[in-house]
Amino acid sequence: MKNNNDFQNDLLERLKDSEYAASYIEAAIEENDANFLQIALGDVVKAHGVSKISEITGIARQALYRMISRDGNPTIKNLNRLLDSVGLEIDVKAKSA
């Protein structure tokens, strides 16, 4: 039986894959739960390394930690920078009728 640390480590390893990370964040958005979305963003950042993301984006590590915290509320500009740094982008499309 896997413990919580094994699950978390497995998840973080899978989130290094852009396709998997995109599906994970998309699922969080579809749940329409802000807390789940913050957790999902945090997991993706942690999978790629907070220091590395900070360096790539130019966003201070402390600011990244605040953005991905439960109380975080990143601007669209910072969200785009964060997603771009891990090979993701926001895609808006018309709803199906």
pLDDT exceeds cutoff 60 at 1:
no
Domains in the chain, number: 1
Average pLDDT value for the chain: 90
Query: pTM of the entire structure?
Result: 0.86
For residue 46, being part of any structural domain is answered with yes
- Residue pLDDT, tens place only, 6-34: 888 999 999 999 999 999 999 998 888 88
Per-residue tokens: 93: 């499309």
Within a domain: 51: yes
- The answer to whether 15 and 43 have CB atoms below 8 angstroms apart is yes
Q: Which domain holds residue 27?
A: 4-85
Structural domain contains residue 55:
yes
Closest CA to 45 of 88, 82, 19, 90: 82
Q: Considering only CA atoms, which of 95, 58, 92 is closest in space to residue 77? A: 58
In a domain, 92, yes or no: no
